[in-house]
Structure 1
Amino acid sequence: MTQSTQYKLLSVKFTDAIALVTLTRPAKRNAINLDLVGELNHCFGSMPDTVKAIILHGEGDHFCAGLDLSEVREHTVPQSVMHSRMWHEAFEKIQFGRAPVIAVLHGAVVGGGLELASATHIRVAENTAFYALPEGKRGLFVGGGGSVRISRLIGVNRMSDLMLTGRVLSADEGQQVGISTYLTEPGEGLKKAMELAQGIATNAAMTNYGVMHMLPRIADQTIQDGMATESLMAAVAQTDPATQRLLAEFLDQKKNKVQRS
């Protein structure tokens, strides 16, 4: 069964355990303004417990062309800080929310759009996608968490190159440096994302939680602290009733063994 929720700048559709969240500002290449930040914050912060996987998509020819610059032209320092913190709050709810998020990238994935994509857990790129961080050429600095998330995806040196030179990466280059995890033909990204979401939705909830919430935190810890946290998460995950069912299915040979693709 499919249900939908309509925001001003977002469309949200629910099909069984999967939510499709679409940016609906195509005339502005889905550029992010304060209204859209607020809607993303509310949407991901109030996602129903029944949702087990989320797909994030952009309407039209582009995923997201970044910050709506018309809103920040006259900002004071305090206003700019609060503006950045609003983005942080919204994107935290994407990265550390209730369900894994798969982004479908096409066309422009630029500036704040790349920051938004980096807050998701899996990125499927169509080969029309292109990536840039033009902040350096606009007299700006990233403010949506990109200095933390994007630098970890592609490395500080490569991020510095994008910001200092205005370099634009193609979809193939983005795949090579680790921005995307899957690459498809034009128009095939949503289909691939749905296929992935359907599989993720059948995972044990505590395993998905561990991947979303604990892996990034373990990466920030010392080796010994990370090992201790890992052992605790492994023990908690095994208590999930879904884990017991999945293990039983495997041991009873109802689930296929891992094979080479």
Structure 2
Amino acid sequence: MTIDLTKTEDGYALLTLNRPEALNALSFDILRRIGAAIDEVAGWRDVRALLITGAGDKAFCAGADIKELRNRSLTDQKRGAELGQAVFARLDRLPIASVALVNGYAFGGGAELAMACTFRLASPNAVFGLPEVKLGLIPGYGGTQRLPRLVGEARALEIIMTGRNVAADEAERIGLINAMAQGDLMQAGRDFAGRFTRYSLPVLDCARRAVQRAADTPLHEGLQTEADLSTLAYRTRDAEEGMAAFEEKRKPEFRDE
């Protein structure tokens, strides 16, 4: 198996890239399998977040399978880039948040997959990089667009144009990851997800969509989106429950309604 998709006992979906002998590298077939797995998770109503990791302790994902990139037509190359972009973009449309658990190397497409997730946690031995320039290429699965949104344009240009590695401590310092996990990475991911998944999923989805629009629209349009989505959240039963619980000085019981 190259992709494993399971449910955890505490209500999360777990997608594991399971090709450790190749450092979980991405072939086009694996990209399609990732897309199918994300679509499957979107239909699950009993999970509260998607956790994504790589099998083994050496790599989250070492990037694209370079052998597949050789001797391709320009049309095929563009279609390949568009495939990777489309698959990773499905994480934006997923109604639940995703958390990348980066164990070891996250290079090229692996770094781009992690950046496409809502959040990123990394083990102390994690190393990120977009080394495509060393092959006479540039990132093609969203790296040139998502990295500046996370770390700023100047730092993103420096990382991409030098192709250098970014260790976990630097990744945390510059905002590439949300936290560096000490101890068991999987448990750290569950604990991290538990900080927000106890709230109403429809409301969390509204919050994600509002923030995502901030990077793509002028301020006045983003504010209108925020007004629309905050009104939508206000109309949920969970909002009524949350406000009632506050007034009654008790813990709210959200039902994702």
The counterpart of 1:184, out of the listed 181, 185, 202, is 181
Partner of 1:91: 88
Task: Tell me whether 1:174 sits opposite 2:171 in the alignment.
Answer: yes
Q: Which deviations, in whole Å up to 9, do the C-alpha atoms of 1:15-74 show, x marking residues without a partner?
A: 353111111011111111111100111111121132221111111121111111111111
Q: Distance in 1 between matches of 2:46 and 2:135?
A: 42
Q: What count of residue pairs does the alignment treat as equivalent?
A: 248
| CA contact 1:130–1:168 (8 Å) conserved in 2 | yes
- Give the drift of 1:255: 3.4
Quick one: distance in 2 between partners of 1:99 and 1:116?
16
SS at match of 1:13: strand
2:158 maps to which residue? 161
Match of 1:252 among 235, 244, 248: 248
Q: Distance in 1 between matches of 2:131 and 2:31?
A: 20
SS at match of 2:61: coil
- 2:7 — aligned with what? 14
1:27 aligns with 2:21: yes
Distance (whole Å) between structure 2 residues aligned to residue 214 and residue 144 of structure 1:
23
For the 8 Å contact 1:96–1:212, the answer to whether it is kept is: no
Cα distance in 1 for partners of 2:5, 2:90 equals 16
Provide TM-score, normalisation by structure 1: 0.90
1:102 aligns with 2:96: no
Q: 1:193 aligns with which of 185, 189, 192?
A: 189
Aligned to 1:5: none
Report if the CA contact (8 A) 1:137-1:163 is conserved: no
Residue aligning to 2:255? none
Q: 1:41 aligns with which of 11, 31, 35?
A: 35
Equivalent residue, structure 2, for 1:4: none
SS at match of 2:211: helix
**TM-score normalised by length of structure 2:** 0.91
**Bigger CA drift: 171-180 or 14-23?**
14-23
**Unaligned runs of at least 5 residues, structure 1:** 1-7, 257-261
Per-residue deviation, 1:199: 3.6
Moved over 6 A (4+): none
Q: Say yes or no: does 1:73 pair with 2:66.
A: no
- Secondary structure class of the residue paired with 1:169: strand
Pairing 1:231–2:227 present: yes
Instruction: Return 5+ residue gaps in structure 2 as ranges.
Output: 253-257
2:60 counterpart SS class: coil
Q: Residue type of the partner of 1:111?
A: G
Q: Which residue of 2 aligns with 1:3?
A: none
Aligned-residue RMSD, C-alpha? 1.6
For the 8 Å contact 1:53–1:200, the answer to whether it is kept is: no
Q: Which position in structure 2 is the counterpart of 1:222?
A: 218
Aligned identity (percent) is 28
The letter for the 2-side match of 1:134 is P
Distance 1:51 1:240 in 2: 19
Q: Distance in 2 between matches of 1:236 and 1:224?
A: 19
1:179 is matched by which residue type in structure 2?
L
> In structure 1, what residue type is equivalent to 2:53?
H
* Alpha-carbon contact 1:52-1:200 (below 8 Å) kept: no
Aligned counterparts of 2:162 and 2:89: Cα–Cα separation in 1:
28
Is 1:134 matched up with 2:131?
yes
1:211 counterpart residue number: 207
How far 1:200 moved relative to its partner?
A: 2.8
Three-state SS of the structure 1 residue aligned to 2:149 is helix
Distance 1:149 1:163 in 2: 12
What amino acid is the match of 1:29? L
